[in-house]
Amino acid sequence: MTTVQTPAKASSVISSSGFFLFVLLLTAANLRAPITAVGPVLEDIRLTFGLSASAAGLFNFIPLILFAVLAPVAAFLSQRIGLERSLWGALCLITAGSIVRWSESETALWSGTVLLSAGIAAANVLLPPLIKRDFTEHTAKYIGLYAATMSITASLASGVAVPLTALSDLGWRLSLGVWAVPAMIALLVWLPLLRHRHQQPTSTASTENLPTRNPWRTLIGWQVALFMALQSLAFYTLIDWFTPYAQAHGFSQAQAGWLLFWYQAVAIVANLGCMVALKRVRDARLLAFIASSAIFFGMLGLLLYPQLAIVWLTLAGLGAGASLVLSLSLFNLRARHHRQASQLSGMAQCVGYGLAALGPLFFGILHEHSGNWTLPFSVLVALSCVQMLLAPLAGSAKQIS
């Protein structure tokens, strides 16, 4: 009797929502930290290899552009080899990239960054439809905790990067390479779930007769994609350009850094708050509008009265955190099944991160050509207004037909 019951018990534990949540959060912990760890030690990297400022800027551009380019590819692969296998492969890339960056070679640094960015790009797309497929009743909870975990580890990676450089002769290589450890742990923890899913294939037959309309050809798909794009553009542009903007208005570099930390810390609170709110509403129109309005008024305040940056960044941070959770949740809420959710996730992240990668670039061009901060910030405010107007459409309960 014991030999018969033990596999069933193990299977029950592996398929439980608690174990899945543990795996989900461990995976999420690897989806931003290897990237945000670069910023604080970027000057050290630049001096080590004699990189120009423009070349060093590619460390911010490469991950975002790969998030955009590889998002549809990840969605396609998940249809061919399955969500679990695709996600495990993504973690393999993240782990390999983090290990490669231990090397002293400049080539290894660039190739490692490309590898782990490709893995993160795939995982970004694949986690929401996996939640949609297996734990639909926990969608809001899991998306909120997933987003909060990414935000927390991203902030942690930024905070410990510089102290880690002083611990050994490895310097900045330790700050980057240490993130191979949680990636390897995630790989191992995924194995039981991977084997379990292979033994009990998902019920693909149940989705064969459901609508499979491609989101790229639907108005709903573009509403969700543009909402994702506008909130991503606002967030990454502010992350890249707030420090010089703040210094131009009398803040020190250290003060600007702490203000940015506050902006991201507030976003974590909004991640969790939006998670709770989503479980209580029938659709997300009002939540999307409120979150977008907070970003709009935060950006407008920074433009008109930057001396009160702490107030405006609090507003913008709350809006950014809630908008991220909403964007990730909309992949599932607007899709009828996990296959369609995977397609919508790939589309929205392709458009979203594509604009997020270009946003800081064009912001800088506008600043350079205008010679001031008024024009680029005015454009950012206008785009935030567009997000606010689009929010009720993107947050509707209507699904892709």
SS (H, E, C) 324-386: HHHHHHHHHHCCCCHHHHHHHHHHHHHHHHHHHHHHHHHHHHHHHHHCCCHHHHHHHHHHHHH
* Residue 374 sits in the same domain as residue 231: yes
Give the number of other CB atoms < 10 A from CB of residue 259.
19
Mean pLDDT for 205-216 is 61
Q: Which of 144, 173, 202 is the last residue of a domain?
A: 202
Q: Where does residue 199 rank: exposed (0-12), middle (13-18), buried (19+ CB within 10 A)?
A: exposed
In a domain, 4, yes or no: no
What is the reported pLDDT for 304?
A: 94
> Given 202, 233, 262, which residue is the final one in a domain?
202
Q: Label residue 196 by pLDDT band (50, 70, 90).
A: low
Residue 126: inside a domain: yes
126-159 per-position pLDDT tens digit = 888 888 777 777 777 888 888 889 888 888 887 7
371: left (phi over 0), alpha (psi -120 to 50) or beta: left
Residue 86 maps to which CATH number? 1.20.1250.20
What is the DSSP code string of 88-136?
Answer: HHHHHHHHHHHHHTTSS-HHHHHHHHHHHHHHHHHHHHHHHHHHHHH-G
**Within a domain: 44:** yes
Mean pLDDT is lowest, of 9-23, 232-246, 268-282, for 9-23
The domain in which residue 283 lies consists of 214-401
CA atoms of 366 and 171, how far apart (whole Å): 36
Is 186 found in the same domain as 243?
A: no
- Do the domain assignments include residue 312? yes
Are residues 188 and 218 located together in one domain of the fold? Answer: no
Instruction: For the chain, give the longest Cα–Cα distance.
Output: 79
The tens digit of pLDDT for each residue in 297-318 reads: 999 999 999 999 999 999 999 9
Same domain as 139, residue 187: yes
Quote the mean pLDDT of the chain: 83
The answer to whether residue 5 is domain-embedded is no
pLDDT tens digit string along 27-61?
A: 999 998 898 888 778 778 888 888 876 777 788 88
| pTM of the entire predicted model | 0.81
Neighbours of 241 (CB within 10 A): 19
The whole-number average pLDDT for the span 227-242 is 89
Q: Is 2 exposed, middle or buried (0-12, 13-18, 19+ CB in 10 A)?
A: exposed
Residues 223 and 144 in one domain: no
2 within a domain of the structure (yes/no): no
pLDDT of residue 16: 62
Q: Which residue has the higher pLDDT, 167 or 4?
A: 167
Token output for 102: 């231990």
Does residue 229 or residue 129 have the better pLDDT? 229
Q: How far apart are CA 119 and CA 37, in angstroms?
A: 16
* Number of domains the chain is built from: 2
Q: Do 29 and 119 belong together in one domain? A: yes
Highest average pLDDT, of 36-50, 109-123, 133-147, 252-266, comes from: 109-123
Q: Are 207 and 338 in contact (CB under 8 A)?
A: yes
Instruction: Tell me whether residue 166 is in a domain.
Output: yes
Q: Residue 231: pLDDT above 90?
A: yes
State whether 178 and 254 are in the same domain.
no
d(CA 296, CA 119): 32
Considering the domain architecture, whether residues 175 and 288 belong to the same structural domain is answered as: no
Q: What is the pLDDT of residue 200?
A: 43
Residues 370, 228 within the same domain: yes
Where is the domain boundary, 167, 202, 237?
A: 202
Question: Alpha-carbon distance 41 to 43, whole Å?
Answer: 6
Q: Please check whether residue 207 lies inside any domain of the structure.
A: no
Domain identity same for 251 and 171: no
- For 154-177, give one letter per residue: b (16+ CB within 10 A) or e: bbebbebbeebbeeeeebbbbbbb
Instruction: Assess whether pLDDT exceeds 80 at residue 347.
Output: yes
pLDDT, average across residues 163-186? 88
| Residue with token string 């609170």 | 269
| Residue 165 tokens, joined | 């450089």
Whether 231 and 321 share a structural domain? yes
Regarding whether 236 and 193 lie in a shared domain, the answer is no
Residue 150 CB contacts under 8 Å (≥ 6 apart), including other chains: 28, 29, 31, 32
